[in-house]
Amino acid sequence: MKAVLLYRAKYFFILILFSSILQSKVYSQSQDNSDKILRLGVIGLVHDHVSWVFNRNKEDVTIVGIVETNKEAIARYQKRYQLPDSLFFDTYQALYDKTKPEAVSAFNETKSHLEVVAFFVPKNIPVMVEKPMATSYEDALEMSKLSKKYNVPILINYETSWYESTYEAKDLLAQNRIGNLNKLVFNTGHPGPKEIGCSPEFLEWLTDPILNGGGALTDFGCYGANIATWLLEGQTPISVSCIAKQTKPNKYPKVDDDTTIVLEYEKQQVVIQASWNWSHNRKDMQLYGSSGYINCLNGSKMMVMEKESEGEKPYKPKAIEDYQKDPFRLLYEVVHEKRKIPKNSLYSIENNLIVSKILSLAHLAAQEQKTLPWNYLD
């Protein structure tokens, strides 16, 4: 009987010890995980896309500070997201000194992207900017030079980089499901920034030819240029043509609101229809091959025709990784897991230098009313 009691006592002691070790391990892991939270600085509240970071329901990123001086924007976001006064700073320097962010994400006017990069990149702080990379090819080149000089990543974020259909389309092309690719058509835009209710602060610079670099041409032309460059493995076009119109000059007197860009390649043609004059919101693309086509209706819906005799069929794209569908998760992994951005990635500098040159050439082609060769800006 004593032996049994002694055995039970030993068993109970071992069980308690094991439980204590397990609890200690779980707590330790929790502490370790809490240490791996990206300390993010937000630059600007005047880009309506900033709501993306506030609406995330994940704990891998925490906002340590916001640089903004626009009182109306500050008041609106404070009310909407219950943000304390202590989170706001007037300058980049104040944010840096007080919070020591591990990365920053820029939601200010596109013209200021170079300014953000010039301040934070030399301090070894990665930067993610909203599309497009810059208002001009010259600014994009300067951003690229800073990234290379200090060996610090710069990411360019597009909504279409989160789409399952975007990645599936490239996989289908690699499988030769529609034959040789010969035409790419991109339809991007909406009924207009005023029409869809963009904030006053956003409208103020979005419709300014200096702060935005143009109107619909830069706002939505960049999507097609970005994806086309990615699908064509970093090829550059032979020539760029562009017609930029004002269909609503009373609403948008300073910039284009309906623009068509045509890019000629050795074996493909790319047509980018960027507009603030669509009847509805749209970001879709059609890829035409020698034997069929891929129609990406939005981020998750696709139609594919491989043979005309069989007709088109609905196609469900595969799920994508967290870092592909969430730019802030990608930024987290770049900082904490040292994830490298491939050279022709949708987010990469290399891709977006080509995009910036396409947009700059398109702007000039529309002004001069002629097709321009790729080396026109060299």
Nearest to 92 by CA among 125, 130, 63, 120: 120
How much is the average pLDDT of 39-53?
98
Q: How confident is the model at residue 32 (pLDDT cuts 50, 70, 90)?
A: very low
Joined tokens for residue 40: 């993010």
Contact 65, 88 (CB under 8 A): yes
Nearest to 213 by CA among 133, 145, 129, 155: 133
For residue 370, the tally of other CB atoms under 10 A from its CB is 11
Angle between helix 216-231 and 164-174 (nearest 10): 40
Task: Give the DSSP letter string of 44-91.
Answer: -S-SGGGHHHHT---SSEEEEEEE---HHHHHHHHHHHT--GGGEESS
Residue 371 belongs to a domain with what CATH number?
A: 3.30.360.10
Joined tokens for residue 104: 């920053």
Each residue of 88-147: pLDDT tens digit?
A: 999 999 999 999 999 999 999 999 999 999 999 999 999 999 999 999 999 999 999 999
Contact 98, 65 (CB under 8 A): yes
pLDDT score, position 25: 30
Share of the chain above pLDDT 70, in %: 91
In a domain, 296, yes or no: yes
In a domain, 47, yes or no: no
- Report how far residue 3's alpha carbon sits from residue 10's, in angstroms, rounded to the nearest whole number: 10
Q: How confident is the model at residue 24 (pLDDT cuts 50, 70, 90)?
A: very low
Query: Exposure of 90 by Cβ count < 10 A (0-12 exposed, 13-18 middle, 19+ buried)?
Result: exposed
- Report the chain's terminal Cα–Cα distance, integer Å: 94
Q: For the chain, what is the domain count?
A: 1
292-313: burial string, b at 16+ Cβ within 10 Å, e else: bbbbbeebeebebbbeeeeebe
Does residue 7 register a pLDDT over 50? no
How much is the average pLDDT of 22-51?
68
In a domain, 130, yes or no: no
Phi, psi values for residue 270, rounded to 5°: -115, 130
Q: How confident is the model at residue 21 (pLDDT cuts 50, 70, 90)?
A: very low
Does residue 239 register a pLDDT over 50? yes
Contact 331, 126 (CB under 8 A): yes
Phi, psi values for residue 162, rounded to 5°: -100, 0
In a domain, 3, yes or no: no
pLDDT score, position 154: 98
Each residue of 158-190: pLDDT tens digit?
A: 999 999 999 999 999 999 999 999 999 999 999
Nearest to 168 by CA among 5, 43, 297, 262: 297
- Report how far residue 255's alpha carbon sits from residue 214's, in angstroms, rounded to the nearest whole number: 6
In a domain, 221, yes or no: yes
Does residue 29 register a pLDDT over 90? no
pLDDT score, position 270: 99
pLDDT score, position 5: 41
In a domain, 181, yes or no: yes
Phi, psi values for residue 167, rounded to 5°: -70, -35
Q: Which residues touch 90 (CB under 8 Å, ≥6 apart)? A: 67, 69
In a domain, 287, yes or no: yes
What residue numbers bound the domain in which 170 lies? Answer: 160-320+343-377
Contact 67, 95 (CB under 8 A): yes
pLDDT score, position 35: 61
In a domain, 111, yes or no: no
